[in-house]
Structure 1
C-alpha cells in the first residue's frame, strides 16, 4: 500500500532567503542609518550655536528615520509582506542576468576612474559616454563617438565655467 500524502519538504535556507530577499534592503538601510548616526554623534560642533537647530539635527533625523524604516520593513517582510511587481515594465524575471553588459559597463566605469586624472574629464568623459552606449547596445560607430565628445565637452564647460565646479581638463584643455 502506497501513501500519496507525503508531508511537504521543509524550506531550505536558500529558498527562504529568496522568498525574503527584501531583507537585504533592510540590512542596507540599517547599516546606512547606523553610519549616519555615528557620523552625526561624533561630529565636532562649535558650542556657540544659535537657535535650536544645529548641524547635527538633520543627520540625526535622517539616521533615525533610516533605522525606523529598516525595522518597519523587516517586520513587514517577516510577516509575509512582499513588494508589488513593477507593472510598467515587461521584464522576464526568470531570464538570467546579462553578465556581458554588466562586465562591459564595469570596465567602462573603471577605465573612466583610472583615466580622468591623466587625460582629464573631456577625453575620459567621452570614453565613458561612448563606452556606455556601446555596452548598452548602440552600434552607430560613426555617430556615437561624436555625440559622446560633444556631450563630454558640454558637461565639462557647464560644470567648470557656469557652475564653478572644477573638473580636471587634461592636456587637451591647454590647446583649446
Structure 2
C-alpha cells in the first residue's frame, strides 16, 4: 500500500450545505436591511426597537458562517445520510404547509393558517394523527398569538378565531369598559 493510498482524500465541498449557509447569510442581510428601515424616535435610549433584530441578525451571520465552514470541510451529514434519497413527497407536504400559511394568514388569521401549516408539516414528518396534530397546533398557535398580541402588542394576523377570543377576554376581564 503506498503512502498516497493511506492518506484520506481531502473533503469535497458539500454544495447543498453551502447553499443553506449562503441562503442564511442572505436572510441575515435582509434582516439588516429591514432593521435599518425601522424608524427610531430620538426619545429612545441606546436600547431601542432595533436591538433585537440586530442581535438576531448577528446570530444568523455567525450560524451561516459556521454552516459555510462546515460545507467547505465536507458538510455535516454522515456519508450514509448523503446516500439516502430525498423524500420529495414529505418535502412537498412541508413546503405546502409553509405556502398555505403565507396564503391563508391574511384571509383566515394567524391561528387557522398556523394550524393548517402545523398539520401539513407533521404529515410531512410522518405523523398520521391529524386531529391530535391540529389540537396541538391550535394550542401552540394561540399561545404564540396571545404572546405577541397581548404581551407585546404586535398584531400578527387576527382572524375570526382571534377576534372572538379577544372579545371574550375583554368581556371576562372587563378590558375596554369605561
- TM-score tier by shorter-chain length is 0.5 to 0.7
Q: CA deviation at 1:25?
A: 2.8
Aligned to 2:91: 102
- SS of 1:97's partner is coil
Higher helix proportion (structure 1 or 2): 2
Q: Are residues 1:136 and 2:129 paired?
A: no
The SS at the match of 2:74 is coil
Q: What is the total number of aligned residue pairs between the two structures?
A: 130
1:28 equivalent in alignment to 2:17: no
| Equivalences for residues 94-173 of structure 1 within 5 A | 94-173=83-162
**What TM-score do you get using the length of structure 2 for normalisation?**
0.54
CA contact (8 A) 2:105 2:113 kept: yes
For structure 2, list consecutive stretches of 5 or more residues without a partner in the other structure: 1-10, 38-49, 166-178
Show CA shifts across 1:97-156 (max 9, x none). Answer: 111111111111111100000001011111111221111111123322111111111111
Q: CA RMSD in A?
A: 4.5
Deviation of the 1:22 alpha carbon: 5.0
Flag the 1:94–1:108 CA change in 2: closer, same or farther, 3 A: same
What residue number does 2:74 align with?
83
Give the alignment of 1:39-50 within 5 angstroms.
none
Give yes or no for contact 1:121–1:170 (8 Å, CA) kept in 2. yes
Q: Is the 8 A contact 1:129 1:152 kept in 2?
A: no
Larger Rg: 1
Does structure 2 retain, via aligned residues, the 8 Å contact 1:109–1:128?
yes
